[in-house]
Chains A and B, each alone.
Chain A
Amino acid sequence: MKFIIERFDPDKDAKPYFKEYDIQLEPTDKMLLDALIRIKSVDDSLALRRSCREGVCGSDAMNINGKNGLACVTKIADLPDVVKLRPLPGLPIIRDLIVDMTQFFKQYHSITPFVINNDPPPEKERLQSPVDRAELDGLYECILCACCSTSCPSFWWNPDKFVGPAGLLAAYRFIADTRDQATNERLDNLEDPYRLFRCHTIMNCVDVCPKGLNPSLAIGKIKEMMVKRGV
């Protein structure tokens, strides 16, 4: 099988280039990550991040034939004969398929990603009805792989100003939590021409999310709350 992989080592290369690998896969190689490990056994200089190899840690996000996804849950059988791999677009490349995610996490951190509740903690758990808990479904499962934010043109243009789909999904995860008391402050934090409103509902985020989440819907709900609050 043929793989064309973008390579870059800042100590050697003036700019990224593509390297071709024609590789004999074994029957046990089922996922794209297996193929990459097979390639690395031949060329140990290929650099990529990986950890859980089952789609829950978010390490091995990359651009696969033009679309962002996780290598470990992308089936080789579903890929064409030639596979072109690039690092996630829009973030600085550190080396090969490894990008600098500082900006991505900075935006995640900017939405105060923790429950804020200033009441003294009760002796037992804070109660939450199953219906209220269900509001968190589709939000808390995010694995911070950055597939969404790095497929979003608004994030490409303003990664320093626009929170991006992953960060906004997280913002709504805390707004939607009945245990959190900081909804107003959270909305204030996003009341800005860029942070929230740069989302133009292009929906790339929904299209690429490997966990099937819908940041666009969450962003819509925040916008709605913003409007309601304004009147």
Chain B
Amino acid sequence: MALNVRKFDAVVVGAGGSGLRAALQLSTAGLKTAVLTKVFPTRSHTVAAQGGVGASLGNMGEDSWHWHMYDTVKGSDWLGDQDAIEFMCRTAPEAVIELEHYGMPFDRNDNGTIYQRPFGGHSMNFGEKPVQRSCCAADRTGHAMLHTLYQRNVFANTQFFVEWMALDLIRDAEGAVVGVTALEMETGETMIFHAKATLFATGGAGRIFASSTNALINTGDGAGMAARAGIPLEDMEFWQFHPTGVAGAGVLITEGVRGEGGILLNKDGERFMERYAPTMKDLASRDVVSRAMATEIKDGRGAGPNNDYILLKLDHLGPDVINKRLPGIRESAIKFANVDPVKEPIPVVPTCHYQMGGIPTNYKGEVIVPKGGNPNSVVPGFYAAGECGCASIHGANRLGTNSLTDLLVMGKSAGDSTIAYVKAHGTHRDLPKDAGDYTLSRLNRLETQKSGESVFEVGNAMRQAMQAHCGVFRFPDMLEKGVAKIKEVAERCKHTEIKDKSKVFNTARIEALEQDNLMEVALATMISAEARKESRGAHDRADFKDREGYPNGRDDKEWLRHTLWYKEGNRLDYKPVNLKPLTVETIPPKARVY
């Protein structure tokens, strides 16, 4: 059975922040572009970002992109590539100003400039003291940004394919990417989108964990498609656990709460972060704060009847500040934690939040893989940006606000690279004769599968395995068992059964296809984590602790390198970290103290 084919200059998959920013470049340049998105653009997960977008505007006092760069390199625990980090931090101010010109409703200072708040890990003068760098719209920055970007795309006449889920990447014999297969949810029809260039902006896969701040749609679709097409996934062992998810519910409470002066307390009412991070205290990097909280809980100093959460106190900020700067989290706390933070602290726990790894790219958003001795060989016609890509800007730990900065800067950069490629290549490469067969076989498997486990059961097994074996603290024996466990779940995933075989808006089928993608990411994560024999950033192993020459258990001699996981045979490969920035001196590795 042959699939229908539609031809475009470029296909963008995903319409969150990075997809919309990229699409804006492509539409404005006049490329015939299809933006495929499995949800209406403003339902994308960027909408949930709260605290702000990082850029050294210097509206509140002195700041510089170089300081932002230093903070980002240090935040990444030196695993970030310094060319990409310099590129992002230097470009951030113009990216934010551009967004303001598009109509983004930023909060304002009395002089009319954009208001900026302090945020975790952001400092003045190379780590001296906290700086105000986070440009925000109350605590709804992501919502304001996503809507503004969507609105600007309406202005630019971008062509959206709403509620179309991309299923598989199509590569030709030379490995070039020539498009995707995609399913229209409303009709159940599958089609080939044949394109000169394909840009993935599919977001993260935070739903591999049981406890997650992520939207239910964050199922790693781009990572899954790339992995199935033979592209490796980079640094997937690095997952950010956000310090403040609402205990039990997982709903995000922004770091902006601490930026505005909120503090974390243990059951004794002690502001324990002073012990762990004497300078930055509650505004240390997220990995540092999450570990400190988990340590407090582990040592019996957690609050609540079961001593299993930490208290986020902000009532001392007063109702005026809370209502003006943090209205959204007040709403969330009342709804999901049954506390009004104007009066009471919010119960919080570290919660899976962000995927630092992803599809390997350079800072231009070109997807790169090892080939013929070159660790960074460009895959023709393939681009990735935002959380699904790994440039690598965030390395082993992302700083708060840098996700939004990343999606603006990398979305535009990947968009520009796509335009240059499409303009340089006049015609479409041929579709392989069997394009679509792989997708059809996957769909057919689901159609004909009888008496298998449900997607819900297999998904639960995956989420529980990830949570138990690959969380904030990681142990060698648990990781080893975790690898066996997750491989077993991956086998089960091949035989899931959906009862509903209907055509129209069959969400059971969608969830089964999403589970396939989550499974690739879960495998990549567990296997990469087990293999990395050090502690770095968010990857904290009990068998690699702080000792002479190994700050916080980090081993720069052996492990200052990126992991690459290949689906085929669960093979691992490694490549060097780029310590050479574009124009400034390198920031050499040192002990990370906040």
Name the interface size band of chain B.
Answer: 35 or more
Interface footprint category on A: 35 or more
Contact B102 A57, beta carbon cutoff 8 Å: no
Determine how close the nearest CB of chain B comes to the CB of A28; give it in whole angstroms: 7
Which residues of A sit under 8 angstroms from B44, Cβ to Cβ? 51, 57
How far, in Å, is A48 (CB) from chain B's closest CB? 7
CB-based A-B contact count at 8 angstroms: 152
Q: Given contacts A52-B45, A140-B147, list 4 more A-B pairs with CB under 8 A.
A: A45-B506, A115-B102, A129-B108, A130-B108
Q: Within the assembled complex, what's the spacing in Å between the Cα atoms of A48 and B328?
A: 25
24 A-B pairs with CB atoms under 8 Å apart are: A11-B502, A12-B502, A28-B248, A40-B456, A40-B507, A44-B500, A49-B39, A51-B215, A54-B48, A55-B335, A59-B43, A73-B335, A113-B151, A113-B154, A114-B103, A114-B152, A114-B155, A125-B100, A128-B112, A130-B108, A133-B107, A133-B108, A140-B144, A143-B47
Q: Which of A48, A49, A52 contacts B48 (CB 8 A)?
A: A52
Which residues of the partner chain B approach A46 to less than 8 Å between Cβ atoms? 507
In the bound complex, how far is the Cα of B43 from the Cα of A121, in angstroms?
A: 29
A214 smallest CB distance to B (angstroms): 15
- Where the two chains meet, the residues of A that have a C-beta atom closer than 8 Å to any C-beta of B are 9-12, 28, 30, 40-41, 43-59, 73, 75, 94-96, 98, 101, 105, 109, 113-115, 117, 121, 123-130, 132-133, 136, 140-141, 143-144, 174, 177, 179-180
Is the Cβ of A47 less than 8 Å from the Cβ of B506? yes
Once bound together, how far apart are the Cα atoms of A20 and B227, in whole Å? 42
CB-based contact A124/B45 at 8 Å: no
**Inter-subunit contact A101/B507 (CB<8 Å):** no
Contact flag A114-B151 (CB < 8 Å), given A52-B215, A101-B40, A130-B108? yes
The answer to the question of B449 belonging to the interface, with a C-beta cut-off of 8 Å to chain A, is no
Let me know if B154 and A109 touch, CB within 8 A: yes
A78 and B446 CA atoms in complex are apart in Å by: 38
**Is B503 in contact with chain A by the CB < 8 A criterion?**
yes
A48–B507 touching, CB < 8 Å: yes
> Are B143 and A141 interface neighbours, CB within 8 A?
yes
Closest residue of B by beta carbon distance from A139: B105
Q: A57's closest neighbor in chain B, by CB?
A: B43
- Whether A126 pairs with B100 at a CB distance below 8 angstroms is yes
Set of chain A residues within 8 Å of B421, measured between Cβ atoms = none
B48:A95 contact, CB within 8 angstroms: no
CB-CB nearest 5 A-B residue pairs: A127-B112, A115-B103, A44-B508, A45-B500, A114-B151
- CB of A58 within 8 A of CB of B103, answer no
**A94 with B43: CB separation less than 8 A:** no
Q: Which residue of B lies closest to A75 (CB)?
A: B335
B455 interface hit (Cβ, 8 Å): yes
